[in-house]
Amino acid sequence: MSTASNPAVSRDERLVLDRLRDAPRSDEVWRAGKRRNDWDVALIRRAFGRSSDEFCRGQSGQQPELDDIALIHGMRANFGAAVRGAVVADQVLRGGSGLSAAAQMMLFGLDSVVRAETYYRVEHAVNPGNTALFGLLRWRHTQGTPWSEVVPGAYVDVLPEPTGWLIKDARLFQQRDPDPVCDAALAVFAERQVFGSFRRPINDARTPSAILRTIGMAAWSDSPEEVLAQAAANALLTHGHPDAYLSAGAFAVIINTLLAGGDLAAASEIVLEELVKWPGCGGVHGMISSAGRLGRAGDPSLLRELVGAGNAPNALAVAIAAAHLRFTDFDGAVRLAGELLPASAVLVGAMLGAGRGDSAVPPQWSEDLVLRDVFDRLTADVLASRGVDVERRWQQSWVHDYPSF
């Protein structure tokens, strides 16, 4: 009996079986160093005449579930490892003293990916930009700003207090290192109900603090083009310069490609092909190109050329080069990146986790991982919400655990 006519076989099981039949073809695609490239370039360009909020609604509403079997397998196996790799690197860099602001924003970013599914279920619309914005507002609240000062007055009437299970964890209210760029950008929303978009950049910030939080967008789609677009729109909420938001988009595509079974060379090639479709890509494109060349040269001292002013493209480039140089040495890669440019350490940790899975992180480093229970729950729920986990799906109870706002 065919799987298509067997009601006992779920959609996901049919999908996996069908894709497994095409596995040799997928292998051939990867050996050629390519993935499918079906993006409408004009859509990206038109996005710059629209707000990021409008763009994030997508072309046809509902985002399809992932259907790339290589990515589905890699997400199941390594997405959690990518997140844990970033957190471990963050703790190593900080001497074990809690999380950085960037790592905590990653938590709220993962939470917002699941909330985007709730938003679709309730509102029948796709709007990850809005859920990401309110995730960042909840992060700002944990760092000492009263909720009544985080959201505009009209929103306070609808949301008198922040919602969801994550914000109820008292450990998140520990004060982290300040992030004045993100805080100032989010303050504008509270004051004037304005947030960063393609059409109206909120500032000219180039700092790397928006990159890590977009790791959840690596799970958004099996199209690198869509991943880059959604991650860039997320970063635009607080960072208005192309160097910053395109670095965030590039990072998400790299993680997405590594999860799908590609190596760093393939990930860089895909990113470079996608970046040229975006205005203002020169800085990020050039740094990624240099990172691959210097990383493959095998001399750690060469990586100093990438540090520059320490902006987002520099942090991403240092991470890529360190990953090339020490892909099988998590400790060495994280410490090398951290010594050169601290913001790059978490990025290389995520890359090695995505590329190598849990074996990338030394066991002794992950045993006492701060907020391990929180990160593990969030990554599992992201996979369920994106249709990756065939045994768990979005549940009605998540309307309370992961409400739209």
With a CB cutoff of 8 Å and minimum separation 6, the contacts of 349 are: 85, 86, 87, 88, 89, 90, 330, 333, 334, 361
- Only one residue has tokens 């240099």, namely 290
Place 94 in a pLDDT band, splitting at 50, 70 and 90: confident
pLDDT value of position 65: 64
CA–CA dist 130, 141 (Å, integer): 17
| Mean pLDDT of the region 196-217 | 95
**Which is nearest to 81 in space by CA: 255, 235, 217?**
255
Task: List the structure tokens of 16.
Answer: 């996996």
334-352 pLDDT, tens digit per residue, is 999 999 999 999 999 999 9
CB neighbour list of residue 90: distance below 8 Å, 6 or more residues apart: 99, 100, 102, 103, 345, 346, 349
Rounded-to-integer distance, Cα 338 and Cα 104, Å: 18
Backbone angles phi, psi at 172, to 5 degrees: -75, -15
Distance CA 149, CA 253 (A): 35
- pLDDT of res. 127: 82
Amino acid at 216: G
Cα separations in angstroms, 327 against 31, 357, 360, 361? 20, 12, 9, 11
* Tokens 């938590």, residue located: 107
Q: Quick one: angle between helices 23-31 and 69-93, nearest 10?
A: 50
Model confidence pLDDT, tens digit, residues 218-252: 999 888 999 999 999 999 999 999 999 999 999 99
Q: What is the residue-averaged pLDDT of the chain?
A: 84
Q: What average pLDDT does the segment 54-82 reach?
A: 67
∠ Cα 288 26 325 (to 5°): 30
Element counts in the chain: helices (H) and strands (E): 20, 0
Q: Which two tokens stand for residue 397?
A: 């109870």
CA distances from 283 to 9, 56, 241, 340, 354 (A): 49, 24, 11, 19, 25
Q: What are the tens digits of pLDDT across the range 160-193?
A: 999 999 999 999 998 788 899 999 999 999 999 8
| Residue 59 pLDDT exceeds 60 | no
Q: Tell which residue, 22, 5, 54, 30, has the closest CA to residue 236.
A: 54
Query: If pLDDT is split at 50, 70 and 90, which confidence band does 365 have?
Result: confident
Q: Which two tokens mark 217?
A: 């967008």
Q: How many CB atoms lie within 10 A of CB 213?
A: 32
Torsion angle of the four alpha carbons 111, 114, 120, 125, in this order, in degrees rounded to the nearest 10: 50
Residues 6+ apart with CB under 8 A from 320: 254, 264, 268, 288, 291, 292, 295, 348, 351
Please list, in sequence order, all residues whose beta carbon lies within 8 angstroms of the beta carbon of residue 106, skipping any fewer than 6 positions away: 83, 86, 212, 213, 215, 216
